[in-house]
Amino acid sequence: MRLKEQAITSTEKQTPPKKPRPKAKKSLGQNFLADGRVVERIIRAAEITADDLVLEIGPGRGVLTRRLAERAGRVVAVELDDTLADSLMSEFEGSPNVSIVHADAREAAIDELVPADVPYKLVANLPYYAASPIIRRFLEADHKPKLMVVMVQREVAKSMCAEPGKMSILSVATQLYGSPRVVMSVPPRAFRPSPKVTSAVVRIDVYDSPCLDLDSEERFFDLVRAGFSAPRKQVHNCLQQGLDISREQAEALLEAARVDPRRRPQTLSLDEWGGLYGAYCLKYGHNERTEITDSEGIRQDKPHA
By CB under 6 A, name the binding residues for ligand SAM: 28-33, 57-61, 63-64, 78-81, 84, 104-106, 125, 127, 130
What string of H, E and C letters represents the secondary structure of the chain?
Answer: CHHHHHHHHHHHHHCCCCCCCCCCCHHHCCCEECCHHHHHHHHHHCCCCCCCEEEEECCCCCHHHHHHHHHCCEEEEEECCHHHHHHHHHHCCCCCCEEEEECCCCCCCHHHHCCCCCCCEEEEECCHHHHHHHHHHHHHCCCCCCEEEEEEEHHHHHHHHCCCCCCCHHHHHHHHHEEEEEEEEECHHHEECCCCCCEEEEEEEECCCCCCCCCCHHHHHHHHHHHCCCCCCCHHHHHHHHHCCCHHHHHHHHHHCCCCCCCCHHHCCHHHHHHHHHHHHHHHCCCCCEEEECCCCCEEEECCC
Nearer Cβ to ligand SAM, position 28 or 182? Answer: 28
Other C-beta atoms within 10 Å of 53: how many? 18
Nearer Cβ to ligand SAM, position 57 or 173? Answer: 57
CB of 197 vs ligand SAM, minimal distance in Å: 12
Nearer Cβ to ligand SAM, position 58 or 303? Answer: 58
Nearer Cβ to ligand SAM, position 25 or 258? Answer: 25
CB of 262 vs ligand SAM, minimal distance in Å: 41
Nearer Cβ to ligand SAM, position 41 or 289? Answer: 41
CB of 63 vs ligand SAM, minimal distance in Å: 5
CB of 142 vs ligand SAM, minimal distance in Å: 20
Nearer Cβ to ligand SAM, position 30 or 174? Answer: 30
CB of 143 vs ligand SAM, minimal distance in Å: 18
CB of 81 vs ligand SAM, minimal distance in Å: 4
